[in-house]
């Protein structure tokens, strides 16, 4: 399979009143189909970085932000397939009693995904449709059309119910709502976030940011769906998976440092073409 090289990374500038323990979740998962070639952290002033894997086997980094101003930079190079993610319109839903034990948790309510509160709407909108891949795609089509992307329209307290009512949100909100509708129909769905470069699509004029999408269990595997962009894409570089955004927080601080600035990078390396 041809592979393409993508540079990803992010910068953070914090001002802390006291030394502040912090967990960052911005490193890609080094797992097929993505291959992580290299990665590095830099900080001014220097900090000690320690890696660990969380409950969902997501890579995390622990460090202590020193009192004062601290600038951190993460850079990585990843090889990604020169192909969009898989799709199969015939992939079937499974009845709950046939689902693998480990995916049952992704049918339940979580902090931001509330299938119990959106169940009536889910069944009225999608319950009569033929079960399977095409029904999940219909959920994504609806969420994509129902919500308007708008920075600042939601915050850390906004649930799927909130954004369904307001009609506005960012990519995590699109994903939370589509997950909630899926779970309400007993379809296991989990939250995913990572880097999503503009590969073979028109460039997005908005500044690059982390992206959120979902994976849904159909047949005997997880399938990728993206209610925000609502199209199959190349170059998804996964950072974390969980029940919703609360499980895969980009940064967790054990204190109250001030975030001065943040930027995200994800773009194909122009100096390298496809590799076999």
Write out pLDDT tens, residues 244-254. 999 999 999 99
Q: Name the residue among 163, 158, 157 with its Cα closest to residue 143.
A: 163
Q: How confident is the model over 152-166, as pLDDT tens digits?
A: 999 999 999 999 999
CATH class name, domain 3-82+250-268: mainly beta
Q: Where in the chain is the domain with CATH 3.10.620.30?
A: 96-247
Q: Name the residue among 107, 105, 76 with its Cα closest to residue 93.
A: 107
- 3-class DSSP string for 140-180: HHHHHHHCEECCCCCCCCCCHHHHHHHCEECHHHHHHHHHH
> Mean per-residue pLDDT for 55-83?
97
The CA distance from 30 to 38, in Å, is 10
- Strand, coil or helix: what is 51? strand
Q: Peptide bond before 115: cis, by omega within 30 degrees of 0?
A: no
| Contact (Cβ atoms closer than 8 angstroms) between residue 193 and residue 178 | no
Q: What is the mean pLDDT of the chain?
A: 95
The CA distance from 160 to 166, in Å, is 10
Q: How confident is the model at residue 22 (pLDDT cuts 50, 70, 90)?
A: very high
Q: Where in the chain is the domain with CATH 2.60.40.2250?
A: 3-82+250-268
> Mean per-residue pLDDT for 17-32?
96
> Mean per-residue pLDDT for 264-272?
84
CATH assignment, 96-247: 3.10.620.30
Per-residue pLDDT, 138: 98
The CA distance from 63 to 43, in Å, is 11
| Contact (Cβ atoms closer than 8 angstroms) between residue 114 and residue 161 | yes
Q: How confident is the model over 123-147, as pLDDT tens digits?
A: 999 999 999 999 999 999 999 999 9
The pairing of strands 50-53 and 59-65 is: antiparallel
> Mean per-residue pLDDT for 112-120?
98
Per-residue pLDDT, 270: 75
Q: Which residue has the tokens 């073409």?
A: 273
């Amino acid at each position: 399979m041809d592979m393409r090289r993508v540079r990803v990374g992010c910068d953070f500038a914090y001002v802390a009143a006291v030394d502040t323990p912090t967990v960052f979740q911005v490193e890609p998962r080094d797992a097929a189909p993505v291959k992580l070639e290299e990665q590095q952290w830099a900080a001014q002033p220097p900090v000690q970085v320690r890696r660990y894997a969380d409950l969902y086997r997501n890579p995390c980094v622990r460090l202590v932000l020193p009192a004062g101003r601290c600038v951190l930079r993460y850079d990585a190079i990843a090889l990604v397939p020169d192909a969009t993610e898989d799709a199969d319109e015939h992939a079937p839903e499974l009845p709950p009693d046939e689902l693998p034990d480990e995916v049952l948790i992704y049918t339940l309510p979580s902090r931001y995904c509330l299938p119990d509160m959106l169940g009536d709407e889910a069944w009225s909108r999608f319950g009569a449709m033929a079960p399977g891949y095409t029904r999940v795609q219909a959920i994504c089509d609806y969420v994509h059309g129902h919500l308007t992307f708008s920075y600042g329209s939601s915050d850390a307290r906004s649930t799927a119910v909130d954004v369904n009512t307001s009609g506005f949100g960012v990519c995590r909100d699109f994903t939370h709502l589509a997950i909630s509708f899926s779970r309400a129909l007993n379809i296991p769905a989990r939250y995913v976030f990572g880097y999503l470069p503009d590969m073979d699509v028109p460039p997005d004029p908005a500044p690059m940011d982390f992206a959120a999408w979902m994976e849904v269990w159909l047949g005997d595997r997880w399938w990728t769906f993206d209610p925000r962009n609502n199209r199959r894409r190349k170059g998804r570089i996964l950072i974390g998976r969980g029940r919703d955004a609360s499980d895969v927080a980009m940064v967790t601080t054990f204190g109250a440092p001030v975030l001065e600035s943040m930027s995200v990078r994800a773009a194909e390396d122009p100096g390298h073409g496809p590799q076999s």
